[in-house]
Chains A and B, each alone.
Chain A
Amino acid sequence: MAGSETAAGAAPDVVKILVAGGFGVGKTTLVGSVSEIAPLRTEEPLTLAGLDVDDLAGIEEKRSTTVALDFGRITVGDDLVLYLFGTPGQQRFWFMWNDLAIGALGAVVLLDVRRPQSSFAAIDFFERRGIPFVVAANGFHGEHPYPPEEIREALALPDEVRVLLCDARERTSSRDVLIALVDQLIAAAAE
């Protein structure tokens, strides 16, 4: 198509990583702590057309609803920009991730170990679609009652999925979560 190749000037190459997990696990906090811009938010009206009846359970009584996406940006090179997208926390909007997941390098699933079930849907989603992900336990109040290996076992995660502890409020900790994901991708690519 005309316009997609030509004269884009200094337009950078762009990639994205998703930050998923249950309601209130710290997705927006992680995006904000590592982003070079204040996290931005965009509201998207949900299109209900083309969805299975099952998808609509619980929202059929609403005429319209919106989904909010949080995102941040990290310039990782002269001509390479990484966008982070915090997915909607409400489980009933999981089908939104289909669109979001297209073209993502991979995903971070944040986990609150006090209520891990809230992140099961996210793990299932990425597993089923073969989208690579790491699991990061966000220690509220800096507390990490379980070591990574115990978390891996409890969640029945395969060996190649990295599990780590983090503090989503800390820039370096959030950065390390992203690095773990990219290292995992590199390890898989080198195989």
Chain B
Amino acid sequence: MSEGDAQGRLVRPFALTGGRTRPSRADFTLITTVTAVDPPPERAPRGQPEHARILRLCARPVAVAELAALLDLPVSVVVILLSDLLEAGRITARAPHPVSRTVADLDLLKKVREGLGRL
């Protein structure tokens, strides 16, 4: 790989997110599930092409990590784009199942166990 490539990779995500390097919302983890709002809200602002790509990819629920892999972009960049879409009301986000180290969720564990047993 040439040096130009390496630099291009560094610069591109930065340009994509308009120079912001931090997500504006902390709502997204690797396994937060995002879903496009269908139909889109009226007067939804026109986004960048990457916004449109994300909306197509999350027509059905998809996890943030999967989106990043599909888009071939770092998670941190995808989170910023998702923050834009969330603020514009174009996606919904579902947080992962909360896991407590002190109170185990027996029902959840049994569900996971049954699912694995079926594999």
User: Which residues of A approach B to under 8 Å, CB–CB?
Assistant: 1, 3-4, 6-16, 34, 40-45, 64, 66, 69, 71, 73-77, 80-83, 85, 100, 102-105, 130-131, 171-172, 175, 178-179, 182-183, 185-186, 188-190
Contacts and interface: CB of A to CB of B under 8 A. Distances in A.
Given A41-B69, A83-B63, A182-B109, A13 B97 contact: yes
A103 B117 contact: no
Most buried by B among A1, A8, A11, A130: A11
Interface string B57-80: 000110101101110001110000
B94 interface: yes
A166 B30 CA distance: 28
Contacts of B108: 13, 15, 80
Contact of B113 (A81, A85, A103, A183): A183
Interface string B81-119: 000001001011111111101001110111111111111
Contact of B33 (A11, A41, A64, A178): A11
Nearest to B89: A3
A82 B119 CA distance: 13
Given A8-B92, A16-B31, A182 B65 contact: no
Of all A-B residue pairs in the complex, the 3 with the closest CB atoms, nearest first, are A76-B115, A189-B104, A40-B69
Contacts of A45: 74, 76
Contact of B27 (A3, A43, A171, A179): A3
B27 A1 contact: yes
B61 A10 contact: yes
Interface of B: 10, 25, 27, 29-33, 35, 37, 60-61, 63, 65-66, 68-70, 74-76, 86, 89, 91-99, 101, 104-106, 108-119
Nearest to B100: A103
B92 A11 contact: yes
Contacts of B89: 3
Contact of A42 (B32, B60, B68, B113): B68
B65 A175 contact: no
Nearest to A10: B61
A76 B74 contact: no
Contacts of B114: 76-77
Contacts of B75: 42, 44
A171 B119 contact: yes
B116 A104 contact: no
A186 B63 contact: no
Nearest to A103: B99
Contacts of B66: 40, 71, 73
A122 to B, nearest CB: 18
A161 to B, nearest CB: 16
9 contacts: A3-B91, A44-B74, A77-B112, A81-B63, A103-B31, A172-B119, A175-B116, A182-B112, A186-B109
